[in-house]
């Protein structure tokens, strides 16, 4: 089963106050590149959705063997960016979707979602303490729905589509629910993980 990963990174995030994709983590890596590295550790075929002006980021991600999909107009919403990413790998058997501002998701969690999708689930999503998070996996059953996304409607809006098609995966990884919308989010999550002992299966 050929599963492609789509990393969503075309937005600039006005709430963050600056380009959060370039915000540095405690280990010195830019937030987006850390998210990309976690995804690339599990999935061989990875696409990142960027804007045309993102030259420096594109060079870094090309060096990590990402395919660059240009999506103009991030103001058109996540659904528009996601559809562009799916279109870049429209013949895949399934897709793993990850927003670019979630570098705290463990590699083991990403692998678990891929495994469940590979075993035949129509859709798969990790859940931490009852809250659904990312990455989200979809089989080809959802191809047309994903390609039709627009505006602020993202992939998670499709998870309840059909007759109980979604597999909920309970995980011990809080990173699945941690996205950096504001600078204080970044500081809080970094402090959380620096003080937290690793949990088996999180990485």
172-198 residue pLDDT tens: 999 999 998 888 999 999 888 877 655
User: What's the CA gap between 4 and 188, in Å, rounded?
Assistant: 31
The 10s digit of each residue's pLDDT in 60-109 is 999 999 999 998 765 567 888 999 999 999 999 999 999 999 999 999 99
| Segment 121-140 mean pLDDT | 96
The answer to whether residue 141 sits within a structural domain is yes
Q: Residues near 31 by Cβ (< 8 Å), separated by ≥ 6?
A: 20, 21, 22, 23, 24, 25, 100, 101, 103, 180, 186
The answer to whether residue 119 sits within a structural domain is yes
Domain CATH code at residue 102: 3.90.550.10
The answer to whether residue 203 sits within a structural domain is no
pLDDT classification of 151: cutoffs 50, 70, 90: confident
Read off the pTM: 0.90
Look at residue 16 and tell me whether its pLDDT is greater than 90: no
pLDDT classification of 148: cutoffs 50, 70, 90: very high
The answer to whether residue 8 sits within a structural domain is yes
The answer to whether residue 201 sits within a structural domain is no
Look at residue 15 and tell me whether its pLDDT is greater than 80: no
Domain count, the chain: 1
**CA distances from residue 93 to 24, 77, 96 in whole angstroms, order as listed:** 34, 25, 11
The answer to whether residue 202 sits within a structural domain is no
Please give the pLDDT value at position 195.
73
Per the structure, the complete domain to which residue 70 belongs is given by: 3-13+20-194
Q: Residues near 203 by Cβ (< 8 Å), separated by ≥ 6?
A: 106, 107, 108
The answer to whether residue 115 sits within a structural domain is yes
């Amino acid at each position: 089963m050929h599963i492609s990963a789509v990393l969503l990174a075309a937005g600039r995030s006005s709430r963050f106050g600056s380009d959060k994709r370039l915000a540095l983590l405690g280990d010195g890596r830019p937030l987006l590149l850390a998210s990309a590295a976690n995804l690339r550790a599990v999935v061989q075929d990875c696409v990142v959705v960027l804007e045309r002006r993102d030259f420096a980021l594109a060079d870094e991600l090309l060096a990590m063997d990402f395919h660059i999909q240009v999506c103009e107009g991030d103001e058109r919403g996540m659904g528009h960016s996601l559809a562009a990413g799916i279109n870049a790998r429209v013949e895949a058997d399934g897709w793993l979707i990850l927003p670019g501002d979630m570098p705290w998701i463990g590699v083991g969690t990403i692998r678990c979602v891929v495994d469940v999708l590979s075993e035949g689930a129509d859709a798969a999503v990790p859940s931490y303490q009852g809250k659904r998070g990312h990455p989200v996996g979809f089989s080809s059953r959802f191809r047309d729905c994903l390609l039709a996304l627009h505006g602020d409607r993202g992939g998670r809006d499709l998870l309840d589509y059909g007759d109980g098609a979604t597999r909920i995966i309970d995980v011990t990884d809080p990173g699945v629910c941690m996205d950096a919308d504001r600078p204080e989010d970044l500081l809080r999550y970094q402090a959380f993980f620096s003080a937290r002992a690793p949990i088996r299966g999180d990485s």
